[in-house]
Amino acid sequence: MNAARLIHLVAHRGNAAEFPENTLPAFVSALELGVRFLELDVQLSRDGVPVVIHDHLLVRTTGLPGSVFDHDAAELAAMEAAESQRFGDRFAGTRLPLLRDVLALLSRRPEITLFIELKRASLREFGHDQVVSQVLKAVEPWRTQCVIISFDLVAVHRARALSDAPIGWVLETCDDHSRLKFEALQPEFLFASHDQLPARGRLPPGPWRWVIYEVTNLPLARALAGRGADYIETMAVRELSTALRGARAP
């Protein structure tokens, strides 16, 4: 197995092992480690602005009660997102970013690709058309560097219909039924957790590229690449990027 194939690491919520997830320090750290593919989660604020946060409930990342849907974007951008349960006061002052804050990292950096996951809670709260259209509006200046992804197949279809930005479907199951759907959709990317995959065999080939997530060690990454994975998504950005560089060394 040629380790050079594993050059494509995706930083899952940034360097989320070492920094509060989905924050600017996490994304900047991943870029400084040489990763050029970032993944983040988006919810909409009460006034319809895309905010970078995984849960619509605020408590886990900000320690505050309530939901993203209860606040306008300006209020959310003032909130600390330091994940104090994980890090104590180490990252005090780290703010909850809006999507436009992260997109600014792409300026003059054409080598960076951003995978933007539309979360189901916002799709239920605001409807597919509003969520998809608001995110596409935000990414328009960088649409060639952004990939719109979701577990929600309707949202992915809407993104395809409304824009020429690439799309990715995040699979919940890797079975024949899902295969019929993604063969019809023809997305640029397919995402799957490594523990959802069949125990052995090549991943279904097609015009898409496979992104396999929840990967934290080099042996698993190499095995997945041997089965046809194109990208490995991880929170363990420093560990895996260092391991991959070592594997490529003469």
Catalytic positions, written as ranges: 12, 54
Structure tokens at 197: 């995959």
Q: From start to end of 160-239, where are the E strands?
A: 167-170, 189-193, 209-213, 231-234
What is the chain's Cα-based Rg?
A: 18
Burial class (CB in 10 A: 0-12, 13-18, 19+), 69: middle
Q: Which residue has the tokens 């690491």?
A: 9
d(CA 83, CA 61): 5
At residue 148, the 3 state secondary structure works out as strand
Residue type (1 letter), 148: I
Q: For 210-248, b where at least 16 C-beta lie within 10 A, e where not — what string?
A: bbbbebeebebbbebbeeebbbbbbbbbbebbebbeeee
For residue 113, how many other CB atoms are within 10 A of its CB? 20
